[in-house]
Structure 1
Amino acid sequence: MENIAEHKFTFNANWTGGRNDIGEIQSGNLTTKVSIPSSMDGPGIGTNPDELLLSAASTCYLISLATMLEYSNVKATLSLHSEGIVQVSKAVLTYKKIIHNIEISLLDKSERAERITKRLAVKAEETCMISKALKGNVEIIINCTII
């Protein structure tokens, strides 16, 4: 019989008022204010759900890739710039796309290391638990540059 572990994450929020007010959130080591971004006619204080989703997807991808590279004995430095694209149609907001622009600086410049790295840059997105949760709803694109 397989021993399956579960990890529990908690989230707490306080919000008073309406659409353009400011709330406070706390989850693990994260404590911050939250509101609708100014680009969507909100107060733009603290973070917002769109940034949190992008941050979750980006850090999950980055950690997954770093882990896979380590297990493959490929030493590298990673730099990630991600963009989240939210579509507005008739006042309905839809998170359409996340684009990960990953720059990987290899310490080992061998053809083997580059081949493995290119493969893992894609595989990391496929195995990241946040990417899996978004699959079928949000398109995720990987643009990989190896230095």
Structure 2
Amino acid sequence: MEHDFKVKTHWSGGRNEKGIFEADHLKGEISIPSELGGMGDASNPDELLVSAAGSCYIISLAAALERSRFTDVVIEQESVGTASLKEGKFKMVKITHHPKITVNEAEYTKLEKQLERITEIADGNCMISNSIRGNVEIEIDAEIDVK
């Protein structure tokens, strides 16, 4: 089975201009980040890559928690993409997800015992992780909190 995800992009002018992107449920502006000498006043491909990885992982984590019968959970997550300049080229080398999973007191001990397995399952089920694995290191640094 295959599925196409279509995104339209448009750019006019040189590197210090803005472009736009649009998909079925997503629309925005893009520019080169200020850290790389661009305008920096719109989303950039680097943030979009980390956003895609982070949103894919949190959805996969929610599904893995649900399948493991954790029903009363809240997940807040920060994802950090680390880029490196090597031989004159920038490359994303690592994405670290920091999910904070909040559960009720009764489920805390159960989740503590299963956390590593559940976070690995979520990573293995995430299409973006599977697409970039081997080219970008993916790290999960999860923590549990009680409501």
Same fold, TM-score > 0.5, yes or no: yes
Residue in structure 1 matching 2:32, options 36, 55, 63: 36
1:111 deviation in Å? Answer: 2.9
The answer as to whether partners of 2:108 and 2:144 remain within 8 angstroms in 1 is no
Offset from partner CA, 1:53-105 (integer Å, 9 cap, x none): 00000000000010111111113211101100010134310110001111111
* Residue equivalent to 1:121: 119
**How big is each residue's C-alpha offset from its partner over 1:99-122, in whole Å with a ceiling of 9 and x where there is no partner?**
111111122335333322332112
* Equivalence map 1:121-140=2 (5 Å): 121-140=119-138
**Which 10-residue stretch deviates more, 109-118 or 58-67?**
109-118
Residues 63/35 of structure 1: CA separation in 2 closer, same or farther (3 Å cut): same
Task: For 1:117 and 1:95, locate their aligned partners in 2 and report how far apart those are by CA, in whole Å.
Answer: 27
Q: Where does structure 1 differ by over 3 angstroms across 4 or more consecutive aligned residues?
A: none
Matched, 1:74 2:96: no
Please give the residue correspondences for 1:15-54 in structure 2 after superposition, counting only pairs within 5 Å: 15-54=11-50
- Is 1:61 the equivalent of 2:57? yes
Matched, 1:89 2:86: yes
Root-mean-square deviation (CA), in Å? 1.4
State the percentage of identical aligned residues.
38
Q: How many residues align?
A: 143
Aligned partner of 2:103 in structure 1 is 106
Q: Structure 1: which amino acid aligns with 2:131?
A: A
SS in 1 for 2:141: strand
- Does the residue aligned with 2:42 lie in a helix, a strand or coil? coil
Checking the alignment, whether the CA contact within 8 Å between 2:70 and 2:107 is kept in structure 1 is no
**In 1, Cα distance between equivalents of 2:142 and 2:116:** 7
1:11 is matched with which residue: 7, 14, 31? 7
Whole-angstrom distance in 2 between the partners of 1:64 and 1:127: 6
Q: Gapped runs of 5+ residues in structure 2?
A: none
TM-score normalised by structure 2 residue count: 0.90
